[in-house]
Structure 1
C-alpha cells in the first residue's frame, strides 16, 4: 500500500512518492524529478505534483541530492504509479488567439501556438468589451480532461483583472490548465502554488497599467490642444475646395456633379457641406482653429 502522507518520510522516500506522478507543471514523467524552464533539475518539487499525497499548500519538498538539482535534467526510469496514484492522461494543447480589431492580424499568434504544439487553434477578431466571445467559449468547452488551454499572452484572456481571474479559475476548476507562452508568467498556470498569487498580481498590474496609459494619453492630448495641435485625421476637403463647392452649389449645381468635377467622394462632400451648414466648419481659418480644426 502506497502511503498518502509525506509526513515521517525521509528525503529519498518523499522523492520516490512524489515521482510516482507525472508533474502537471513541468511535465516531468513519472520516475523523474521536476525540471526548470532552462532544462535543469529543480531544487524543489512543484506542488501540483503531490496534491494527492500531501497538503496542497504550506508544504515544500526539496529534491534530494541524488537527483542532482541544478544539473542538466535527464529522464529517469519509468515507475509503476500504483493503483491509488494513477498516471493522468497527458492531455493536449488547445490554442486560443484573439485580436481586438478587424484590421489586426492573427498570424503571429497562430504561428506561436502552432510552434507550441497546439493540436487545434481557435481564432477570433473581436473586442474584449463584447459580452461574449464565442470562439473562446468553444475553445474552453472543447477541452478534455487534463488538456491545456494555451494563449500567447495573458491579456488574450480578458480585458481586466476580474475577467482574467474568472477565466483562469474556470479553466482550472474544470480540470484543465492554462499555459501562457510569453510574459512574466510564461509557463503552465498552477493554481495551487506560487503561480496563483503571481497571476493575481500580474492581472492587477495589467489593469493598473491600462489606466495609466489612458491617463497619459489624455494628458498628452490636453497639452497638445493647449499648444494649438489637435489629433485626428486630416480633412479630405480643404478650405479652397470647400469654397468652390459652396459656390457651385449656390449656382444650383448638384452635389454629385460637384463631387465628380472636384474629384472627391459624394458622401465626403455631403458630410462636409452638412458640417458647414450646421456651423461646425468655417471657411475663416481663425474661426475654424477656435473649434479645433486644422
Structure 2
C-alpha cells in the first residue's frame, strides 16, 4: 500500500511555488512580457478571437455578417471612385481619398452605405424567393456551401468525362452574380404566375407610350414580346421596391462603424 507523506508534500510545494513566481517575474524582465497575461491566478489568452461572424445588421431577422460585408465591400469600390470623380472631381488615386471628405462626405462612408444597401437587397430577395418556393441559399454561410458544392459537382463531372455548361469552376464573385441573376429570373416567373400576364389593354398602353413622338414606329405585333418583357421588368422592380420598403432592418452600429478598409 502506498503511503503519502503529507508533510513532505507540503514542504515540496512550499519550496517550488516561490521559485516559479521568481521565474515568471524574471521572464517579464528578460522578455518584456509572459506568454499570457495572468488574472486571478488563471492565464488569459491574448489572441484576439475571430469576429467574422459578428452581425452587422439583421434584415427581417436574417443576419448580415461582418465577413460577408467585408467580402462585398471591395466589389463596390470602382463604382464609388467613379461617382466621386465624376460628381465632385475628386482624385481617386490620392493616398487619403477614402478618408478625406469630398463634396460633403467621405468616400468610405458612401462605400459602406452602398455595401449595406446591397446586402439588405440580398437578404430581402433571398427571403422572398424562399417564401415563393424557389430554392435559394439564405445567408453567407449557406451561399459558400452551395458555391463549394457546385464547384465540386463540376469537378466530378469533368473527371467523369461529362459535358458541363458554363465555366469549369466558378469564382466566388462569378457564382454570386449567377445566383442573384437566377433568383431574380425565378421571382419574375413567380410574379407572372401569381399575378398573371399583362392584359391586352396594358400592352396597348405600353405600346402607345413607346411610340410617342416617333415618325415611323414599328407595328404592335412586332414588338409585342418586347413589351411583355418590359412589363415583367417593371412589375418586378415595383414589387421588389415595396419589399424593401417593408423590410425591418436593424444595424449594429458598433460593428458597422468598426469596419475599415
Work out whether the TM-score is over 0.5: no
Scaled by the length of structure 2, the TM-score of the pair is: 0.22
Q: Say which structure is richer in helix.
A: 2
Scaled by the length of structure 1, the TM-score of the pair is: 0.20
